[in-house]
Chain A
């Protein structure tokens, strides 16, 4: 699959920092709800519940918080590059400065899986490091699309 249908320039952000994982998720839930619609509180609850199951961070400093949420009508991917990384998992992983948020409706589980797999491929083999070079929101979106196009 190609990401372009699910990620929009309006959902890519370069941010200074958020302080904590909880604060970051709250900020992102708010921004996503403002951009694509939906209930920010419900989205935050779903993202937080998933994160509590098992952190979505990776050793490469990338996190993939995601939620299948009632009230969401389409799948969306938001991407954030943080100037100051936040801690998703206090035990296993480095702090994360590249964060992908995936939200989708309950009837799109398989698309959710495919999108997560796509994001994992994009971040692999230096992809996340190239995203870290982004200087602003538009640059981050451009780099993400470039990375997407590197893969079958």
Chain B
């Protein structure tokens, strides 16, 4: 059942998860789907910085969603997994078009070298 990572058609999946408490569920889902590695970074959105640290914009703070921080999850994976991963994320946070809970996108990977499982 283990799908080896092929050199062809690899994507970098970037997920910015605005509900840090969901990170365990996301990682569990990644394991389930066969994603064999990811890097998780504690991150902050621009809106959070504007709201908390830039008083000049205090009057317009409501334009930016409140946030307690986010997690950025970076993972290189076969293109064949991408639709399932988007499905997983929507399972966790709801429809991405209607949710402020996550942002995700993919980037083509020209070369990939490093740890393989």
Once bound together, how far apart are the Cα atoms of A110 and B32, in whole Å?
A: 10
Checking B25, B31, B88 against A113 with a beta-carbon cut-off of 8 angstroms, the contacting residue is: B31
Contact A152 B117 (CB under 8 A): no
Contacts A110-B36, A152-B84: A121 and B29 contacting too (C-beta < 8 A)? yes
Residues of A within 8 A of B2 (CB): 110-111, 114
Whether B1 is near chain A, meaning CB under 8 Å from some CB there, is yes
Contacts A1-B1, A110-B117, A114-B1: A152 and B33 contacting too (C-beta < 8 A)? yes
User: How far does the Cβ of A59 sit from chain B's closest Cβ, in whole Å?
Assistant: 13
Contacts A1-B34, A152-B87: A117 and B28 contacting too (C-beta < 8 A)? yes
Interface size for A (C-beta < 8 A) is 14
- Residues on A lying within 8 angstroms of B by beta carbon are 1, 108, 110-111, 113-114, 116-118, 120-121, 124, 151-152
Q: List 23 A-B contacts (CB under 8 A).
A: A1-B1, A1-B32, A1-B34, A108-B1, A110-B2, A110-B117, A113-B31, A114-B1, A114-B32, A114-B33, A120-B28, A120-B32, A121-B28, A121-B29, A121-B32, A124-B25, A151-B32, A151-B91, A152-B33, A152-B84, A152-B87, A152-B88, A152-B91
- Residues on B lying within 8 angstroms of A by beta carbon are 1-2, 25, 28-34, 36, 84, 87-88, 91, 117
